[in-house]
Structure 1
Amino acid sequence: MKLDIKGLAIIALVAGVLAFFLLMPNQGLKSIPANLSVATLEGASLPLDSLKGKPYLLTFWSTSCPGCVKEIPALQALHQQHQNDGFRIIGVAMSYDEMPAIQAMRTQKGMEYTIAYDQTGALAQQFDVRVTPTSFLIAPDGKIAMQRLGEWDHAELEKKILELLKG
């Protein structure tokens, strides 16, 4: 049986277009909606409005995501380097993760930055998170300074953090 090259090309084109639209980041969200909170692993509610005045990184991740796990050491290093400047990192574990796996990963990887659990998936839905990692660098005024689908170029991220810290 011969392969129909035209048919395969059309299928590949359709699959590519679908993937583009499914994975394309949402450009509609320009700032953090008011009155949003994250639930930390310790059970506290952290209102995102309370973080205004300093930049922070909101990163949606999963214990089953290789890219997420790979970037944990770099995020931990950024946390250690800039926490005294007022910069915060909030790692939001996805709803399909389970609490024991999240806690084990936190311990295993030495994650000292804030970890939240989006147990219902409402926060991920609010930010239109479709894949992990998806991250938002938030400026001191609450506007989204950078959005990244996938892993960060950490030199670029640190440069932007320093710019935001200087004002």
Structure 2
Amino acid sequence: MLIALVAIVLLLRGQGHPDRVPAVRIALLDGGLLDFGRADGKVRLVEFWSTSCAPCVRGMPALAEAHRRHAARGFEVVAVAMPYDAPVHVQAFAARENLPFRVGFDPAGEVERSFGGVRATPTSYLIDRDGRIVKRIIGNPDHRQLDQLLDTLLPPAS
């Protein structure tokens, strides 16, 4: 029983998660590229999600609101669609929901592997201005706790 429990924990945990954001690039829905390895002074929440994941879909409005609330202070959400998600579904969802943040595709799974392997969606990584991974969140974030953490990572609102 203990061996089975340990195996499940290791499966959900992935293959070892980095302490720093990996130097990997992702193609964005708007046609651009985002190089996670280039520190640009932003605090980011990188969310791995799928259009077929009900908790992911339910959590998007709160992510959009967090992005809007903190963007002026240097925060952004980047939603990374899982390799099994059809790009046409991702595009349709982003347009329908009018997502205010950048959405990327990971068709070969390179991005999710470089973050240590994502075994459950949604999974998010909060990254500070220097590229350090501050927190890994499996499931939808508790936005009260996220706001408190962002207040420690971002400059005060003016």
Aligned-partner Cα distance in 1 for 2:103–2:17: 26
Flag the structure with higher helix content. 1
SS at match of 2:154: helix
Long gaps (5+) in structure 1: 1-9
1:90 equivalent to 2:78? Answer yes
Aligned-partner Cα distance in 2 for 1:162–1:26: 30
Aligned-partner Cα distance in 2 for 1:78–1:88: 9
SS at match of 1:88: strand
Q: 1:156 to 1:125 in 2, by over 3 A?
A: same
Aligned-partner Cα distance in 1 for 2:110–2:94: 22
1:62-101 residue CA offsets vs partner (Å, 9 max, x unmatched): 0011111111010000111111222111000011011111
Aligned-partner Cα distance in 1 for 2:38–2:152: 21
Instruction: Give yes or no for contact 2:48–2:82 (8 Å, CA) kept in 1.
Output: yes
Instruction: Give yes or no for contact 1:39–1:116 (8 Å, CA) kept in 2.
Output: yes
Long gaps (5+) in structure 2: none
Q: Which amino acid aligns with 2:25?
A: S
Q: Which residue of 1 aligns with 2:130?
A: 141
Q: 1:105 to 1:31 in 2, by over 3 A?
A: same
Q: Which residue of 2 aligns with 1:70?
A: 58
Instruction: Give yes or no for contact 1:55–1:138 (8 Å, CA) kept in 2.
Output: yes
Q: Which residue of 2 aligns with 1:61?
A: 49
Map of 1:12-27 to 2, 5 A cutoff?
15-24=4-13
Aligned-partner Cα distance in 2 for 1:29–1:45: 22
Superposition CA RMSD, Å: 1.8
Number of residue pairs matched? Answer: 155
SS at match of 1:73: helix
Q: Which residue of 1 aligns with 2:27?
A: 39
Report which of the two structures shows the higher radius of gyration computed on alpha carbons: 1
SS at match of 1:57: strand
Aligned-partner Cα distance in 1 for 2:134–2:3: 33
Q: 1:96 to 1:14 in 2, by over 3 A?
A: same
State the 1:50 CA deviation.
3.9
Higher RCO structure, 1 or 2 (CA under 8 Å, sep 6+): 2
Q: Which amino acid aligns with 1:107?
A: A
Report sequence identity in percent.
36
Instruction: Give yes or no for contact 2:46–2:79 (8 Å, CA) kept in 1.
Output: yes
Q: What's the TM-score, normalizing by structure 2?
A: 0.89
Q: What's the TM-score, normalizing by structure 1?
A: 0.85
